[in-house]
A and B are shown apart, each in its own frame.
Chain A
Amino acid sequence: MKLLRCAHGLLSALAVGAIAHAAPAQCPVPGDCREVHATPGCEQPECCTLVCEFDPSCCSIEWSEICVKAALELCEGISCPSAGACDVIHPNAGCADFDCCELITTLDGWCTYAAWDELCALEAEMLCGVAPCVINTVGVDESEPCYKRLNDGWGVGLVAARIPFSCELGMKGKIADGGPRDLEWFELDGSTRRRVRFTFEAEFPIELQYMLGPEDGPNEVKWLVGEPLCEGPRTVQFLTEPGTSTLILGTGNRERAYREGLDCDEINPDFPPEPDDPPPFAVYGLRWQMTAECLALADIDGDGAVGAADLSLLLAAWGELDPSEEFDPRQPDADLDGDGAVGASDLSLLLASW
């Protein structure tokens, strides 16, 4: 689908008079579409189809230089399947599993035209074989069409805004990819540290990051996680930092933000689609929902009370924290005062709210 969309315009321009030929019957067959070979047809199905529609002899006589040239022009970005396991780094674009290759190259253009690097392999490991899901969203709608930039933090010449936080927040909305990318920024500004818990569920792979600082900076991503796809609600619990801070929901993983494969599915009335525009295309659903709640500062396990279980967690974490270790908001955070160590001061805070 993606490939046909990409090549449609070029094909139309090049294949005037040739389209009338019957669809080829030999796609796919062994042989790389980008290399000359004596047999007709080639192994990348959609590329094979495109080229043979343009020049039927490519599927009836041999895959000649003309066919290769047509493939290079018509099939830009067509690299599936190609040599190499999808979960293993290899120097060519694409990978052997067609479905997985198609999915990953749709989400990550680098994997289509460059090399199958560690990010491609990681994405294949995380996403291939995982069935998309549909969630029934509940909560207050964010009231932001996915073609608008209303809750996307700060920008130049744009309405810069964040979704205000409250202790009993339940919201739903959509995000979209592409340019510009749609995100959701949740405002967590405050003068003191507080413990909050967010639960997210989405139809797309979640990239979640907690960023400190105001518009002019300094800005620092305190932590960043990527949540697996379609494994139900995912919870993060953390202590906010004093000052300006923001929780940012987007699509991606902990290594990379996705900017492809999740078109906004709403029509922008200012720029309605033209008849020849392809329909919106998304490999995953765009919807998300979330709840947020406030917990007591010392409620380390988040059970709604400060008690023996929290004390146990605090004592288990006693001592200096390793600054090189990534903070994981899915694990208990016992550094209540944020001084980089779990010690007497934290114990005092816990006991004070017992």
Chain B
Amino acid sequence: MQSPHDVHPHRIQAMKRTCSRSGTFACRGGSFQVLGSLLVMVGVATAAIADEEPLVFNAPVMTVLPEPFFPTMFRVRDIDGDGKQDLAIAGRDPDDRLLTYKGNGLGGFTPLQTLSAEGFTDWLEFGDMDGDGLVDIVSAWRGDLPRVVVYRGLAGGQFAAPVVVAGIELGVGRDPEGIAIGDFDSDGDIDVVVSSYIGQSFEYFANNGGLSFERVQRVRCAQYLGGYGFPRMIETGDIDGDGDLDLVANQLGGGRIAVIRNESGRFTRAVEYRGPRIGNERPGISAAHLADIDGDGDLDIYAPALVLETTQRIVWFRNDGTGRFNERIVGDGPSSGYVFSVKLADLDSDGDLDMICGSALPGLLSAHRCVSVGDFLFEQDGYYPFGSLVRHCDAFDYDGDCDLDLITIDGPGRTILTRRNITPQQGSGSGCGGLAAANRATREHSTRSQPAEQVTNSTPAASWSRSPLPSAAQHDWNEDGVVDASDVAVWLGSLSRPLSENMLKVTPAPAAEVDAKREQKQSTRTNAQGAAR
């Protein structure tokens, strides 16, 4: 049976790191003591090299999606079996579609199949849901009649018409946004958890085989001051090391992450952590991901920390080994825009996790090289303007040269952007058993063959300014009594159409307590509806 684990990028990274353990000393000061003195010396030398080599990417390749599709996220997989990475894209589409795109191995994509939906689909995952050996797509339709659906995989990279596996009869939850799949009850098939954006909960459906699902459990988000939490994305991983798949999610409205542990096939109540205070602000947390950042064998959590006044930040919630995350380390993110998406990946094969970030207003894709793991310190190398809201970014080897390339989407601009990684790879054992390093010469040749102006890197951060926030963003969307970064995160997360010029020209106002009078007049229902759409 197909394991659901292989669809999760952090596991791919973990596999890559496992392959490249000899390079793990770079930026991992804490692991020096486990190595022999000779290896330490080599490690120090390698670290020095790693710290000096900037991340470099080739010219961007863009694929524009059809109107009026508003992409929200994607998953990468070789759908049609041609050895090249393809895409499945979820989105908010008045024409009710999900899209699959065929990759050409060079970062370009062409339409493969249009899948029908009923309502917006903010998330999708690949998994063999029916156990037939073919990969399926599982997604959730948002809207007034929410449903969890499976598009069964067919031969040749096609998918069948959707099968509704959970509707309101099974308690699918209000406005399902995020999806996580995994064998949560350890019975051999793939189960589903969805986040209920308006329902403030997570709904767990167990797969009984043959696409027959039952609702097992609802896990409510914890309370925070009475505002809306608006849970968004979910990732799975064995957080507490007990051998089963736990959940981590973020709450857009609460500026929090939720950790939900799996205990013998049932989930505990959410344990929630707040983003740390940055200056005088509490950040908005627009995503939450898992990765073993410090290489200590357990999964840590990292999240983009959207702030209004200062440099954007990334928060590392460090796992103490038991699934608790009391230690929070703040690293610098993009120095412009409002960070919305982030991905840690070893982009230079030096054994540590570098970072790519997607921002809004202005839309930016930025690459940050790890300088010190323990301090969560990065140096921003690449900086590329891209649309107005980079909703999702990821790193995959789409060109088959054994290093991780960038794939990202701009929601309002309906665009996929890819950039080939041409960073000199470190470590003899890195990516694809050393092929990354061996391919260095090829990549350098490739770089030289590109017109110089097409390699857009290292734009001085100071030359970028932050676009003013539209007035629409400055509203107490989560209804907690203040307008702050969480509200901006909710607003960005709720966009479903292009940002208009007029919206961007509005002069920003500082974060302030919400106008109580206006708030009294505001219908809660209208608010919730608006945020959901």
Contacts and interface: CB of A to CB of B under 8 A. Distances in A.
Interface stretch (B42-50, B130-138, B263-271, B415-423): B263-271
B272 A155 contact: no
A152 B479 CA distance: 13
A211 interface: yes
Nearest to A106: B525
A282 to B, nearest CB: 13
Contact of B269 (A91, A115, A220, A259): A220
Interface in A187-232: 209, 211, 213, 215-222, 224
A115 B479 contact: no
B220 A224 contact: yes
B6 interface: no
B223 A180 contact: no
B52 interface: no
Q: DSSP class of A's interface residues: helix, strand, loop or mixed?
A: loop
Contact of A221 (B228, B269, B528): B269
Contact of B226 (A181, A216, A217): A181
A180 B273 contact: no
Given A91-B168, A180-B225, A221-B223, A113 B272 contact: no
Contacts of A270: 516
A179 B271 contact: no
Interface stretch (A166-174, A235-243, A249-257, A297-305): A249-257
B116 to A, nearest CB: 19
Nearest to B529: A113
A8 B351 CA distance: 64
Interface string A104-116: 0000011011111
Given A117-B168, A180-B225, A257-B223, A217 B256 contact: yes
A118 B519 contact: no
Contact of B144 (A89, A113, A219, A256): A113
Interface of B is mostly: loop
Nearest to A90: B168
Contacts of B524: 109, 177-179, 259-260
Contacts of B272: 217-220
Question: Which of A154, A178, A222 has most B Cβ within 10 Å?
Answer: A178
Contacts of B174: 110, 114, 117, 119
B227 A180 contact: yes
Interface string A138-182: 000000000101001111111000000000000000000111111
Nearest to B526: A109
Nearest to B167: A91
Contacts of B282: 156
A255 B224 CA distance: 16
Contacts of A213: 271
A60 interface: no
Given A152-B226, A221-B220, A271 B517 contact: yes
A276 B143 CA distance: 34
B269 A180 contact: no
B479 A6 contact: no
Given A117-B171, A157-B513, A219-B272, A77 B525 contact: yes
A119 B199 CA distance: 9
A183 interface: yes
Interface residues of B, number: 63
Given A110-B198, A218-B324, A179 B479 contact: yes
Interface string B258-291: 0100011010111111101000011000000000
A162 B199 CA distance: 26
Interface string B239-271: 000000000000000001001000110101111
B226 A112 contact: no
Interface residues of A, number: 56
Contacts of A250: 223, 226
Interface string B503-523: 000000001011111011111
A323 B267 CA distance: 10
Contact of A155 (B325, B326, B481): B481
A180 B529 contact: no
Nearest to A248: B223
A219 B269 CA distance: 10
B223 A209 contact: yes
Contact of B273 (A117, A119, A217, A324): A217
A217 B144 CA distance: 34
Interface in B448-499: 476, 479-482, 484
B19 interface: no
Contacts of B326: 218
A156 B224 CA distance: 11
A216 B273 contact: yes
Given A117-B174, A179-B524, A180-B479, A157 B484 contact: yes
A180 B144 contact: no
B516 A158 contact: no
6 contacts: A109-B524, A118-B168, A157-B482, A157-B511, A221-B220, A259-B226
Interface of A: 6, 77, 89, 91, 93, 109-110, 112-119, 147, 149, 152-158, 177-183, 209, 211, 213, 215-222, 224, 248, 250, 255-257, 259-260, 268, 270-271, 277, 323-324
Given A117-B168, A153-B225, A217-B273, 7 more contacts: A114-B174, A119-B199, A147-B516, A156-B480, A180-B514, A256-B200, A257-B226
Q: Which 7 A-B pairs have the closest CB atoms?
A: A109-B525, A181-B226, A179-B479, A180-B481, A271-B517, A114-B144, A217-B273
